[in-house]
Structure 1
Amino acid sequence: MRIRSLIGPAIFAAGLFAASAAGAQSVIIDGGGVRVAPPSYEVAPPPPPPGRWDRGPGYSDNNEGIGPREARSIARSAGVVETFGVDRRGRVWVVEGADRRGRPMRVTISARSGDIMDVERARRG
């Protein structure tokens, strides 16, 4: 009788062991198809595909930031209608122009991010 009383718990323990071993495995889906990986197999993430990745506004692959065309476009969003000059001065672009009433204005833009740093308008005098 003693053996029969131990068979039930032994089967239960074997079932738990088999379930935990099966749960430790992972599934790999890649170019080779679908397969089950052994528990010790480390799955490395796939390499990124070749090409340009978007890293946010103002980022350029060559780390030069924005160019003069982008600076002129950003200055237009600040109210410049007519552009007289676009100059790079260190870390900023300075766009000089006029607003819709013909008054001179100067817009300073970050050369890296494209953020408007300052807008100067001519005062009435």
Structure 2
Amino acid sequence: MRTKTIVAGLMLTAGLGLAAPASAQGVQIGPGGVRVDPGYRDRGRRDDVDLSRGDAVRIARRQGLVDVDNVDRRGPRILVRGSDRRGDDITVVVDSRSGDVIDVRR
């Protein structure tokens, strides 16, 4: 009985070891100095792409918006209108390129 338990434990340990993801880091030397490359590519937004409506709503929710009524694009800005948790009207103005919050109007 003890042998089966030991064998099962070794098999479980070996299986977990094979399933572990490989990680590698590198060092890059460039005009800005030395930096550590984490070994993965950022899947985030590229600088030349505007925010989506969903991204703008997520940013506005971090500013206190609870219920979204309307999302409008006005040139380089996105206006997200709705209400906060108390039911008061709120408008969050977000830069469509950087995602920075420009203004919060209550």
Which TM-score applies when normalising by structure 1? 0.49
Structure ranking higher in strand proportion: 2
Which residue number in structure 2 is paired with residue 115 of structure 1? 100
Q: Is 1:90 aligned to residue 75 of structure 2?
A: yes
Which aligned segments of 4 or more residues in structure 1 are displaced greater than 4 angstroms? Answer: none
Which residue number in structure 2 is paired with residue 80 of structure 1? 65
Superposition RMSD in Å: 2.1
Map Cα deviations across residues 42-82 of structure 1 (whole Å, 9 max, x no partner). xxxxxxxxxx9439x7x427x22211000000000000000
Determine the C-alpha separation between the residues in 1 that align with 2:69 and 2:85: 14
Q: Secondary structure at the match of 1:60?
A: coil
Q: Unpaired runs of 5+ in structure 1? A: 1-51
Q: How many residues align?
A: 67
Which TM-score applies when normalising by structure 2? 0.57
CA contact (8 A) 1:60 1:66 kept: no
Q: Unpaired runs of 5+ in structure 2? A: 1-39
CA radius of gyration, larger in = 1
